[in-house]
Amino acid sequence: MQQMQVACETCGAELVANAAYCERCGARTRRARRLVRIAIRVELLFFLLVVGIVIGFTWIYSVQR
Ligand SMILES: [Zn+2]
């Protein structure tokens, strides 16, 4: 289990529990950065899925002709 971040890494200000941003300087917390990384990965996976479907259908149509 990851330890809860209690202070801003940039300015050292105390953070609200589960905060995504520092209230003083606006820096992202570790938790928010991790969520952003997960979101990017999910988006990339979805994009690859769509590309795979398009390539698959293109191949099917070229085989049928
Ligand atoms: Zn800060």
- HEC string of 10-28 equals CCCCECCCCCCECCCCCCE
Q: What is the dihedral of CA 42, 43, 45, 48, to 10 degrees?
A: 180
β-strand partners of 7: 14
Residue 61 CA to ligand 1 center (angstroms) comes to: 55
**What is the pLDDT, as a whole number, of residue 1?**
53
**What is the pLDDT, as a whole number, of residue 4?**
81
Residue 43 CA to ligand 1 center (angstroms) comes to: 28
* pLDDT single digits (tens) 4-34: 889 999 999 999 988 999 999 999 999 999 9
Residues 63 and 65: their CA atoms lie apart, in Å, by 6
Residue 35 CA to ligand 1 center (angstroms) comes to: 18
Residue 27 CA to ligand 1 center (angstroms) comes to: 5
- This prediction has a pTM of 0.64
